[in-house]
């Protein structure tokens, strides 16, 4: 397997919009606003940035310059139908960046759209529930073998080929499908539910998949956050689990140009996420 390196940058913007293609009476047909976040993921050529090590900052500068046109504006003046999908299209068309794999727009903390270069949009929405569980198969003495609880988070993703459409699945459709599951899970004990006698993040994701996939053909994967630092993706066939660790460290970018502040010793709070798939 060849190694591929992707750089990611994100930038916020504040804007108003109305989405007139939604059904009559929908609140988003009225003029309203969001604190948006635009995000780009790109496999950059080795010589694209001004110097080796400056790729992420250069990518962020390009994204920030692109969305400056949208910041503190009425989006309908720039796009007739400013859905998250169309905003992602607009940003992708504006960015003069090679190797773009995806552009994402997050309109709220709990929903957004990621668009690739083949007009596939991953629409996602986040849900939460509070529940107890214990894991019966962990080694003796393991803390997860005791009854405990979490504020779980679940993200439902729907992948659809837009083919130029302004919008695919509406976020409200995901909410309607989730509502009966929330009723079953919220303030309950997962071990008491049939099929969740061993309620790991992986098996919870699969349990949710079997209930949602027949009702939502475009369902592409389910993400379960058991804690803020650990969770699982499931796409119907494969699991990918992750664990996060943080560390504080110093560095200097020795190949930055003369006068660049990044030549000086400075530091960051780093986040490392290790993924395992099977």
Q: Give CA–CA dist 133/219, Å, rounded.
A: 26
Structure confidence by residue, pLDDT tens digits, 93-113: 999 999 999 999 999 999 999
Span 176-194, average pLDDT:
97
Structure confidence by residue, pLDDT tens digits, 207-228: 999 999 999 999 999 999 999 8
Between helix 201-212 and helix 171-185 the angle, nearest 10°, is 120
Span 161-189, average pLDDT:
83
Residue 118 confidence class, pLDDT cut points 50, 70, 90: confident
Domains, in order of start, for the chain: 1-117 (3.30.479.10), 122-278 (3.30.479.10)
Structure confidence by residue, pLDDT tens digits, 1-52: 678 999 999 999 999 999 998 889 989 999 999 999 999 999 999 899 999 9
Q: Is the pLDDT of residue 167 over 60?
A: no
Which of 178, 42, 31, 169 is CA-nearest to residue 112?
Answer: 169
Q: Is the pLDDT of residue 168 over 70?
A: no
What DSSP element (H or E) covers 185? helix 171-185
Q: Give CA–CA dist 229/222, Å, rounded.
A: 17
Q: How far is CA 202 from CA 80, 122, 210, 212, in A?
A: 41, 21, 13, 15
């Amino acid at each position: 397997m060849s190694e591929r390196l992707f750089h990611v940058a994100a930038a916020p913007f504040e804007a108003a919009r109305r989405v007139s293609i939604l059904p009559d009476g929908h609140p988003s047909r009225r003029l309203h606003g969001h604190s948006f976040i635009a995000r780009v993921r790109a496999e950059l050529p080795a010589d694209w940035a001004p110097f080796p090590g400056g790729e992420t900052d250069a990518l962020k500068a390009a994204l920030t310059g692109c969305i400056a046109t949208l910041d503190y504006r009425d989006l309908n003046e720039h796009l007739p139908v400013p859905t998250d999908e169309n905003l992602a299209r607009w940003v992708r068309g504006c960015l003069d960046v090679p190797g773009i794999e995806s552009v994402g727009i997050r309109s709220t903390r709990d929903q957004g759209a990621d668009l690739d270069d083949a007009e596939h949009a991953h629409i996602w929405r986040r849900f939460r529930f509070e529940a107890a569980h214990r894991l019966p198969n962990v080694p003796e003495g393991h803390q997860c073998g005791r009854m405990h609880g979490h504020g779980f988070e679940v993200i439902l993703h729907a992948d659809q080929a837009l083919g130029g459409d302004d919008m695919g699945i509406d976020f409200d459709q995901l909410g309607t499908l989730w509502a009966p599951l929330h009723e079953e899970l919220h303030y309950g004990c997962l071990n008491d539910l049939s099929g969740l006698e061993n309620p790991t993040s992986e098996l919870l994701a699969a349990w949710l998949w079997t209930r949602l996939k027949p009702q939502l053909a475009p369902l592409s994967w389910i993400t379960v956050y058991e804690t803020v630092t650990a969770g699982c993706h499931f796409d119907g066939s494969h699991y990918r689990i992750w664990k996060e660790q943080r560390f504080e460290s110093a560095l200097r970018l020795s190949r930055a140009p003369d006068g660049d502040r990044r030549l000086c010793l400075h530091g960051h709070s780093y986040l490392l996420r290790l993924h395992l798939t099977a």
